[in-house]
Structure 1
């Protein structure tokens, strides 16, 4: 039933919203707005035709929750304090217990299967929290959406929302977009049968389910056929999110990036004559940072001619440090980097320059310096770093790219493609990339940048909206 207060014609639902609040020591709240495809897409909607838009998201930290309690908010944003009242702990169980420790692991195929997963009573309790969390979003969307509104639900955190919302508001046009890979049938069916069915039926509550690549869309369809017998009339779409060329080129020329360039060149040393291999990742288990470092170590072992002539600039920004397995992985990244520097480093040459503090300006500076970009995930829905570096690189760069990244579908022809588990093969690809003639490198970079920016973020969002309404 449509609420008398419902008015929004375009709604986005996601775990993380476009704004975060920080509670200062003096009790004041400060807001920080984010960026990305959804933000620019919704902005384009509002500017173009005056349709009212609303973003529904979760309160993620103390500042967000305090903002909800005080009734502080941004125009066009509805933030939900899902842990309020009798639901304390629901968000943590849904987000860490299910979304990040089960669904993420399934879709990225990360389980060590002799020991995990083991779906027992704790999992069932956390699954109940995931249902509660999704229902809170579905109810908020049902209350806020105007008649025949378009609702775009985002990602694995909210896989049950389309089905729940369909029951509450059959008049709505509902889309779901998966930003991760989708697991192949045999891996997906590790989930308990009833949970696998519930997840698929949740997404199939949407009029349209969309994915970053054809590979992930096909895997979803195959799961639906195996578990349910088909996709129940839900349309399947593919939208390969691209890099925002205009923003990246402008942002990478600002003063703070120039300052980081000077500092990085000093750390690299060698009077500007050293080649630079760059990687920029969060310390996700799926990003494969450790094997990337092992491949670099193998390069230095096999090709001593690169000693003192190359530096690996590796940015591994902390992620999900509230989960022990992520803390352990971050520590292993640091250990391997230290081991390489201890073994090969000499006065005036530090083989690995590792930074773990998130700094976007420094990332852009590294993009500009890159002779080689190493993007070797075990599995990745897309990987925007692979698309951003060729756009920003000053002298052109060679992309060493895992065939398991979604970006491989668009960039594979002009990258050096690797098996992410093959350390020796990745080391050989790094050598080939470092040795590539300047002219070939420049031509590849030009083609990579064109493919990477074919569907910029605002257009990516608008295409989904148009397809949903078609």
Structure 2
């Protein structure tokens, strides 16, 4: 298949695209399409809209597809040198920008920005420039371009230099760090990241809190000014409007998918593992440092210690799917999750009761099964741009669920009124919140669940995407 024609009127740019490739034993390339909010959004505009998705070649098979000139309709895959991708993706995006926005550094020891950082930063610049070049080539005059996330923070300004005729938007799926923490970055790098996003006509975020933090960084680092309503940043004669789009759950898809046969099979297995008559505290996360799985386990252990009546009557079902295992810090964190779960089971478990059921192999139908059965959903991130698990569980719950929710999750802005809100660092308060959730009257739990589900589906992925597109074109 030939590359997409160079006349796209709508373009999306993201590190990970909608398709990936595999090479068979005979050398044949096969493709696999993924899902998610952007895929749903692009499908909503129809096949005749002239849309192209520009993404990175993430694997050797992806790079082979680019080398052969193979592409799915409506996609443009970029293959940079593997060492450049590694330095840009793991060295800068995931080990610096992610850490800054999620406040993850142990500042007595890190960060330390040395010559190795500068080498990685140069790769990040090259990576962003490759995206800007591809978008400039693909875009029709006056096209709308939606650039996604911290991997591509420099793209809007670079693309503006190449194609000033385009309407450019940038969306941040992560939190945004407050100025004092953002300024951990070297001064020139902090300025480059902000000026990169300010190259867009519109910069959008998941919550007003993150948008306000970005604006505050622009003022603090760049000396930019804000409009009277705080909804636009003015810098060097250009105005970038700020937007907020709180991505919601796809209720129709989740309800249908949660009642397929494979989910029913996993419900039977899970019930057998848990045992009859026991309540379920459920969490579903990646083993990402910001998800706070370890403190969640510590809070559960404290619950069993302080409220011994729950022993043998509750099970913590923890699905912790591997994330970024090519980074040593993430491997160590995953090992600590394993260690602590085993410690709790050894301390409190009996012959017929396993207090913690920990699963680390990714299984979406099993996650949906746990959603349906959960009495309590524990979502306690240190910091999270949104957290869709908090929105998905109430949507598919069979009998109502009590949501224990970190105030540092973006979802807090929409769900706080009907959740039990916790400080994610306070293990004692989280243990108390779990007890409150487990003892919540059935009628109250059902009423809260309905309101949570309504709020969670207020801006489904298709509408979320189209709202951004319409706002950019306005």
Q: Could you tell me the TM-score, scaled by structure 1's length?
A: 0.97
Match of 1:338 in 2: 342
Does residue 246 (structure 1) correspond to residue 252 (structure 2)? The answer is yes
Q: 1:31 to 1:194 in 2, by over 3 A?
A: same
Aligned to 1:6: 6
Of 165, 180, 183, which residue of structure 2 is paired with 1:186?
180
For residue 271 of structure 2, what is the aligned residue in structure 1? 265
Among residues 189, 211, 218, which one is paired with 1:217 in the alignment?
211
Kindly provide the CA deviation profile for residues 354-392 of structure 1, in whole angstroms up to 9, marking residues without a partner as x. Answer: 000000010000000100000000000000000000001
Contact kept? 1:20, 1:32, Cα under 8 Å: yes
Whole-Å separation in 1 of the counterparts to 2:373 and 2:131: 43
For 1:135-146, list aligned pairs within 5 A.
Answer: 135-146=129-140
Q: Distance in 2 between matches of 1:467 and 1:42?
A: 16
- Once the 2 structures are TM-superposed, how far is the Cα of residue 73 of structure 1 from its aligned partner? 1.6
Any unmatched runs of 5+ in structure 1? none
| 1:178-235 Cα deviation digits (max 9, x unpaired) | 0000000000001010000000000000000000000000000000011112222100
Once residues 350 and 253 of structure 1 are traced to their aligned partners in structure 2, the CA distance between those partners, rounded to angstroms, is: 27
| 1:38-88 per-position Cα deviation (integer Å, ceiling 9, x unaligned) | 1011111125xx3200000000012211111122221001111111xxxx5
Candidates 357, 363, 375, aligned match of 2:361: 357
- Displacement of 1:5 in angstroms is 5.8
| Aligned equivalents of 1:281, 1:39: Cα separation in 2 | 22
Unpaired runs of 5+ residues, structure 2, are 225-232
Residue 397 of structure 2 is matched in structure 1 by: 393
> 1:26: Cα distance to partner?
3.0
What SS does the aligned partner of 1:394 have?
A: coil
Matched, 1:377 2:377: no
Partner of 2:410: 406
Aligned partners of 1:235 and 1:347: how far apart in 2? 60
1:428-439 matches, within 5 Å, as 428-439=432-443
1:204 to 176, 193, 198: 198
CA distance in 1, matches of 2:50, 2:179: 40
The alpha carbon displacement at 1:250 in A equals 0.3
Deviating beyond 3 angstroms after TM superposition, the runs of 4 or more aligned structure 1 residues are: none
Query: For 1:263-297, what per-residue CA distance to the aligned partner results, in whole angstroms no more than 9, with x for missing partners?
Result: 1111101x2x1000000000000000000000000
Task: Indicate the residue corresponding to 2:44 in structure 1.
Answer: 44
SS at match of 2:209: helix
> 1:325 aligns to what?
329
State the partner residue of 1:29: 29
Structure 2 CA distance, aligned partners of 1:344 and 1:31? 47
Q: Is the 8 A contact 1:5 1:143 kept in 2?
A: no
1:53 maps to what in 2? 51
Residue 77 (structure 1) aligns with: 75
Alignment of 1:103-252 (within 5 A): 103-230=97-224, 231-232=233-234, 233-252=239-258
Question: Secondary structure at the residue paired with 1:424?
Answer: helix
Q: What's the offset of the Cα at 1:29?
A: 2.1
What is the CA distance between 1:246 and its match in structure 2?
Answer: 0.3
SS of 1:15's equivalent in the other structure is coil
**Cα distance in 2 between the residues matched to 1:23 and 1:418:** 47
The question of whether the paired residues in 2 share the 8 Å contact of 1:151 and 1:173 is answered with: yes
Question: Which is further off, 20-29 or 335-344?
Answer: 20-29
How many pairs align?
Answer: 459
Aligned to 1:93: 87
CA deviation map 1:69-109 (0-9, x unaligned): 122221001111111xxxx5100000000000000000000
Report the secondary structure of 2:220's partner residue. Answer: helix
Describe the superposition over 1:136-169 as per-residue Cα deviations: whole angstroms up to 9, x where unpaired: 0000000000000000000000000000000000
- 2:228 aligned partner: none
Match of 2:62 among 48, 61, 64: 64
Q: Does 1:301 align with 2:295?
A: no
Question: Equivalents in 2 of 1:30, 1:340: separation in Å?
Answer: 44
Measure, in 1, the Cα distance between the counterparts of 2:328 and 2:154. Answer: 27
- Secondary structure of the 2:46 match is helix
| Secondary structure, counterpart of 2:135 in structure 1 | helix
Partner of 1:310: 314
CA distance in 2, matches of 1:63, 1:447: 45
The offset of 1:30, in angstroms, is: 2.2
Cα drift, residue 6 of structure 1: 2.7
In the alignment, what sits opposite 1:445? 449
| 1:433 to partner: Cα distance | 0.1
